[in-house]
Amino acid sequence: MDLDRNALGEETSPYLLQHKDNPVHWQAWRPDVLAAAKAANKPILLSVGYAACHWCHVMAHESFEDPATAAVMNELFVPIKVDREERPDVDTLYMHALAALGEQGGWPLTMFLTPEAEPFWGGTYFPPEPRFGRPAFRTLLAGVAQAFRDKPADVSKNVQALRDALQRQARPLSGDGIEIELLDRIADRLLREVDTVHGGVGGAPKFPQSGIFELLWRGWKRSGDTKFREPVLTTLEQMAQGGIYDHLGGGYARYSTDARWLAPHFEKMLYDNAELIALMTLVWQETQEPRLAQRIAETVDWLAREMIGPEGGFCASLDADSEHEEGKFYVWNEAEIDRLLGARAPLFKRHYDVTTGGNWESHNILNRLQSPKLQDEATEADLAACRAVLFHAREDRIHPGRDDKILADWNGLMIAALAKASSVFERHDWLDLATDAFTFVAASMTRPDGRLWHSWCGGRPSHPAILDDYANLCRAAVALFEATGDDSYVAQAEAWLAILDRHYWDPANHGYFLTADDTENLIARTKTANDAAVPAGNGTLLGVLARLYAITGETSYRDRADALLRVFAGEASRNFFPLATLLNNVELLSRPLQIVIRGDRDDHATIALRQAIERVSLPNAIISIVAPDAPLPANHPAAGKMMIDRRPTAYVCEGPVCSLPLTDPVALTDDLRQRH
């Protein structure tokens, strides 16, 4: 094949298409490209990034658009460009290799591979001239190429060391299980890492870390100790009032560059907002805090307005940059505010931290960190009117680019969050968003044999599904079952689990691999329960299996969950920080709260009982609405329990023990509030 041209114009990924006019002879990650590199005995320069990545754009402008740099790349290497969101399997594999080199991960990921695609050295961003303690990129290219040519023994040594590290990574530390007491100790240890003033974990940069704060929230629900509750409330309040939140258009940015949530990296990712909707909904059930309800509603409005793809499903992200400037779309100067708001400008500026000099690079990021408390009703109405004026004015600006890939795993996260939020807030329109997205994925991103594709873009599906696709969509299916009572969602989850067991399960050492047994062109299969930017598929599946066991009574799901937990149980004693999703689902598996409502789903009394359940924050709740005469699984603790006096009736079951029959919504809420 022809490696002497840029071939990215043939791709559909918005990120790859951003690079189609580079003078670099970029190729996509394809079998024929890898075969050609091997035939030419030429090392590979692998560059991995994503469309919303600011530093990816920086390196592109500095190096990949520079003809002199491109000439060096083309002469010495086969340059391959990968969209990490489109090929998370490729990204994960080489990011693990970078970590094994002792380097800090991040994007753009720059890895040097042998012609056989085995890594031997790498890094992240490299500048065009020496700075930040990093060498100039062109100097680096020449040095790596020379080492590959003149020091084959050293390269082979590195290759073997990284190969061994990748193989070890697929063999996690197993154990007999994880006790609830260990979860309490881990939650207590995590408190030392929390910023008690501004919330969040550690200092700058600061990420939402929704899984960790759910873990702390669960610690509060188990113990009643407010030391676990307060950091969660502080974090959500500070984020809701900080610049990481878009106060005009809704939605959260990926992370904050400072410790107080003021200055974000402005990209908005679907997965962050899905996880935050889920966490805020769980906390709102306890606090009924108006600001949380407002942020959830505004974020869903943003989702519906800006993130639904032309053919269905939710798009991946919005860029950090517009007009080649980070944050330009989102920031303001004082003169603009004065001109647009007139007499109301002083009120708005006081509450949203707008000053002449600005609060970020001579501009103003709107935030309410200095005025966090809700004002009186009239003042808040005035501020809302001001925000509406600014929002409509902002719409005339050049918008950040949208990456309109539909990713199965990220859609699963958002569908599950919307399904739960729709029940809690009684928003049928939110449920419609969730069901429409699920229908699109199930119809358009499924192969004839029932297996999933990972990505949909440019009118066609592509790339083999990974573990996270199945895990998150199974979780979404179960959430939709709990929201609608439609058994077809459970059937779909079971079908996807069967595919996972057939193609992803490790029959020798157990646990699920990230990639299928027939995924091509990968030098290793990774297996982990560590959360990364998104929850780990193995951790998510532990919860899916626990829920399906409760719903169906099939003991094979419980057996599989127990086996899965044993694979990773030892990791909790070694490094628990990245295991939040797994640990949260350990509690669900150990202490499910099975709530059954006997009654017709459309009966007003049944609806009232469901609403009573949603008034309480219950992380381990598994809710089933069962028709009056429909059977429950024989091993369900509420099997045989029926309606009382022909009225819809609820039963709350912990372990094998169920509550007395409850027909009064107030009594049901009271019963649930006494449980931790």
pLDDT score of 330: 98
> 79 preceded by cis ω (within 30°)?
no
pLDDT score of 12: 93
Given a cut of 70, the residues of the chain with pLDDT beneath it are 676
**Strand 119-123 versus strand 109-113 pairing type:** antiparallel
Burial class (CB in 10 A: 0-12, 13-18, 19+), 509: exposed
Which residues are registered as beta bridge partners of 111? Answer: 46, 122
- Tell me the Cα Rg of the chain: 26
* 112 and 43 Cβ atoms separated by less than 8 Å: yes
Torsion of CA 320, 325, 329, 331, to 10 degrees: 100
pTM, entire model: 0.95
* 374 and 290 Cβ atoms separated by less than 8 Å: yes
Q: Which two tokens stand for residue 620?
A: 């381990």
96: amino acid identity, one letter: H
Burial class (CB in 10 A: 0-12, 13-18, 19+), 201: middle
In CATH, which superfamily holds the domain spanning 8-169? Answer: Glutaredoxin (3.40.30.10)
For the chain, the structural domain boundaries read: 8-169, 183-323+402-590, 330-394, 593-673
pLDDT score of 676: 67
pLDDT score of 675: 83
CATH fold of 183-323+402-590, please? Glycosyltransferase (1.50.10)
Provide the H-helix boundaries in 326-453.
334-341, 345-351, 377-394, 408-425, 428-444
Could you read off the pLDDT of 119-169 as tens digits, one per residue?
999 999 999 998 877 889 999 999 999 999 999 999 999 999 999 988 887
The correct answer on CATH 3.40.30 for the domain covering 593-673 is: yes
CA gap 84, 46 in Å, rounded: 11
Burial class (CB in 10 A: 0-12, 13-18, 19+), 372: middle
Could you read off the pLDDT of 266-318 as tens digits, one per residue?
999 999 999 999 999 999 999 999 999 999 999 999 999 999 998 889 999 99
* 19 and 60 Cβ atoms separated by less than 8 Å: yes
Q: Is 8-169's fold the same as 593-673's?
A: yes
